[in-house]
Amino acid sequence: MKVLHFGSVITLSALPLRGWCSSLSDYALQRVLQDASPIFGKYAKDVADKSEWMKKYADDTQIVHMNIPGTHDSSTWNYTQATQESLRGITDLNEVTVPVAETFRCQERPFIDMLSMGIRAFDLRYALDPTNTTLVFYHSQALLSETATVDDVLFGFYKWLDDHPSETLLLSFQYEGSTAKYASNNAAVQTQIFNTLTSPVAQSYFPQRKNTLGTLGESRGKIILLRRFDLDQLPASYTDKLPGLHFSPSLWTDNSPDITLTYNTNDNLTAYIEDYYQPLTPTGSTAAENIKWKYNATTRNIVEATTKHADSLFWTWASSENTENTPPDWPKIMALGNGTAITPKGGVNHHLVPFFRQQRGKRVGIVMFDFFDQPDDLIDVFLSI
């Protein structure tokens, strides 16, 4: 009797309710993805050939041994002068001068395309929006969208991982300074990023391991946090609850071609990082000279990755600018050349293609690119190392 009664309750009222719930949650997700789209791009389930490239690696592969392509300042892909103009009303609240859009733009394809085209590491820079309400994305003074919050964009990654459960993503989160006149990495900011990264949904997508990358199998369908921020305004118990690897900004030497950063003192796990984003060439150096310096620093770190410290993390940034130079070398010029006879072979990206072809079978580690989609074969060549 009891069982039958219970069964009839399920049949008569719960089933229709469940159907209704599922369409409401679909609708809610669609809405979040729509809000995320200025940063994530318009979500579409893709079947591109590089959308599941991690399938060919065994579960027991150590992530530290893998070659993983990433994008530097990933959120800048739609930051044109028109976007800057459209945000000017709200950006004025920040009371900072925002230089021309080319200074900040480092990409031109949305996240959804990056994912389909094989990118697995993302460089995400957050701060409070100009009304101090939500965490949004910036590149220095440039607000990249007022409406797409860090929370919204994470749902884009979660949904994509549900659609591609063989893949692992590495998300680098960094507090971006100098976004507003009095902005700082204060307790309000730190509480918001903590809540975002420890919410129930985040806990189900971020493996709760600390200070080690682990194996691919442990992180398929999940996100490894590369934490480039401190929670120094909150009690230590907050920091204890965050998963992933910690790269304290205080240890990440600015504009350095050669950073050695220990992210796990117990096991002496060290990261070897090149982040020489502004070559220290004499003012007036040509675009070609700046590109040569950056290429030099990039390949030096990658050659170390192929030959040394097999179980340590190598994280190389192929991205750069020389905006202090005359004329300025924007990120795009550094990555792709300036389209004149002074850079006949293009930029850093073009020079890296033949270099990567020579690294077959080796470990190069994580490499972050600007304008990763050019030249056409850059990521294909990288993934076939």
Nearer to ligand NAG, 107 or 219 (CB): 107
DSSP-assigned states of every residue in 270-293: EEEEE---S--PPTT--HHHHHHH
- Joined together, the tokens standing for residue 235 give 């009690």
Question: How many other C-beta atoms are found inside a 10 Å radius of the C-beta of residue 56?
Answer: 9
Task: By CB under 6 A, name the binding residues for ligand NAG.
Answer: 37-38, 41, 78, 80, 82-83, 86, 93, 131-132, 182, 257, 268, 270, 286-287, 292-293, 296, 300, 309, 312, 327, 338-340, 342
Nearer to ligand NAG, 78 or 116 (CB): 78
Cβ pair 366, 119 in contact under 8 A: no
Least separation, in Å, of the C-beta of 295 and ligand NAG?
8
- Comparing every residue's Cβ against ligand NAG, the nearest one is 182
Nearer to ligand NAG, 65 or 300 (CB): 300
Nearer to ligand NAG, 258 or 380 (CB): 258
Nearer to ligand NAG, 104 or 205 (CB): 104
- Joined together, the tokens standing for residue 360 give 């077959």
Cβ pair 21, 137 in contact under 8 A: no
Nearer to ligand NAG, 12 or 182 (CB): 182
Cβ pair 314, 304 in contact under 8 A: yes
Encode 300-339 in three state secondary structure.
HHHHHHHHCCCCCEEEEECCCCECCCCCCECHHHHHHCCC
Upper half-sphere CA count for residue 359 (Cβ side, 13 Å) = 23
Least separation, in Å, of the C-beta of 148 and ligand NAG?
8
Identify the helix (H) or strand (E) that includes residue 262. strand 259-264
- Joined together, the tokens standing for residue 22 give 């599922």
Least separation, in Å, of the C-beta of 241 and ligand NAG?
25
Nearer to ligand NAG, 250 or 326 (CB): 326
Buried b (16+ CB within 10 A) or exposed e, 200-237: eebeebbbeebebbebbebbbbbbbbbbbbbbeeeeee
The sign of the torsion formed by the CA atoms of 151, 152, 153, 159 equals positive
DSSP 102: G
Least separation, in Å, of the C-beta of 68 and ligand NAG?
20
Least separation, in Å, of the C-beta of 314 and ligand NAG?
12
Least separation, in Å, of the C-beta of 2 and ligand NAG?
55
Least separation, in Å, of the C-beta of 207 and ligand NAG?
24
Distance CA 206, CA 223 (A): 5
Rg (alpha carbons) of the chain, rounded to whole number: 22
Nearer to ligand NAG, 215 or 338 (CB): 338
Least separation, in Å, of the C-beta of 313 and ligand NAG?
11
